[in-house]
Amino acid sequence: MKNLIFSMLAVGAIIMGGCNEAMNSGDEGKGRLVVKITDDPFDISYIESATVTITKVEIRRVGDGVPDGNPFMVLSDDTVTIDLIDLRNGLTQTLIDMEIEDGEYDLVRLYVDEAGLKLKDIEDPYKVKVPSGEQTGIKIFISPALSVSGGLTEELLLDVDLSRSFILRGNMNHNNGFIFKPVIRAANMTTAGRIEGMVKDTAKVKVKEAKVWITQDTTVATAFADTMGYYAIIGVPAGTYSIFATKEGYDTVKYENISVLAASKTVRDFILTKK
């Protein structure tokens, strides 16, 4: 899946299949924070690149009674530009790996200076407007709050859904540019699993760029199969979901009551029928 998940791993054991990893830290009362990024894409067949430039990352500690009313801790003020199109089907990029004070953290704030979108067959990329992203930051709530304990690493995934984050002004025939209004899902990787599988047609031909998505009342996450027909959705909170797959010219296939367990992998393959 082109996970354009802004996968931000905050303080979490980077473990898809096991126990929290103990860290040999010399400082008591601190845990380790790892921040990564990935993407949950929109229709990638039109996109050559989708970049975001992040200038600062902050995290908020729960009940921090700070006198100035600003309980945010700066995790990084380095400028980094990331091409989300490179992060597909479970791939992530580490933004932060550091120790932070023990406690409960319930919100991450990203400051985005600019975003860019390059469409295929169009020579010039679009410089995308980011409303208030640089001034006030983009808030991503963590629920339940992330618990950081001394000697352990916790991981938080920030999943940016590109299909809803880049808003077209006008239409493809009368394109007036794009606005970047990120839709970001935060997932505690210590209590999340993943869903992956293959998408083929009835002749067993791999179906690239098939859209796969999971729902639990509403859409939770989306992926697109790669050139080998493989998809993966990571950072899925433990629970029961419906999962769908389709592509233009094919029927939609749906499976219900798909169980996802913490730190585990669920495999679900699809066979699509041409219309």
Identify whether 216 is part of a domain.
Answer: yes
Largest CA-CA distance found in the chain, in angstroms, rounded: 66
Q: What is the predicted pLDDT for the residue at 161?
A: 79
Please write the tens of the pLDDT for every residue from 199-237. 999 999 999 989 999 999 887 888 889 999 999 999 999
Q: What is the predicted pLDDT for the residue at 26?
A: 52
Structural domain that includes position 247: 193-272
Give residues with Cβ within 8 angstroms of 78, minimum separation 6.
Answer: none
Q: What is the predicted pLDDT for the residue at 41?
A: 43
Give CA torsion, residues 236, 239, 244, 245, to 10 deg.
Answer: 40
CA distance 45 to 196: 20
Domain count, the chain: 2
Are residues 27 and 99 in contact, defined by beta-carbon separation less than 8 angstroms? yes
- pLDDT above 80: residue 274: yes
Chain centroid to Cα 37, Å, comes to 7
Amino acid identity for residue 136 in this structure: T
Q: What is the predicted pLDDT for the residue at 8?
A: 32
Identify whether 169 is part of a domain.
Answer: yes
Identify whether 233 is part of a domain.
Answer: yes
CA distance 144 to 197: 28
- Verify that 215 and 92 share a domain, yes or no: no
Residue 148 phi/psi, 5° resolution? -105, 125
Identify whether 213 is part of a domain.
Answer: yes
Are residues 224 and 210 in contact, defined by beta-carbon separation less than 8 angstroms? yes
Residue 19 phi/psi, 5° resolution? -85, 165
**Domain end (from 191, 208, 223):** 191
Q: What is the predicted pLDDT for the residue at 66?
A: 56
pLDDT-derived band at 247, boundaries 50, 70, 90: very high
Q: What is the predicted pLDDT for the residue at 57?
A: 93
Half-sphere exposure of 14 (CA within 13 A, CB side): 18
Please write the tens of the pLDDT for every residue from 165-190. 877 765 555 556 778 888 888 888 88
Q: What is the predicted pLDDT for the residue at 114?
A: 86
Determine whether 18 is exposed, middle or buried from the number of CB atoms within 10 Å of its CB (0-12, 13-18, 19+). exposed
CA distance 78 to 172: 35
- Verify that 154 and 84 share a domain, yes or no: yes
Are residues 14 and 154 in contact, defined by beta-carbon separation less than 8 angstroms? no
State the CATH number of the domain containing residue 230. 2.60.40.1120
Are residues 33 and 74 in contact, defined by beta-carbon separation less than 8 angstroms? no
- Verify that 186 and 201 share a domain, yes or no: no
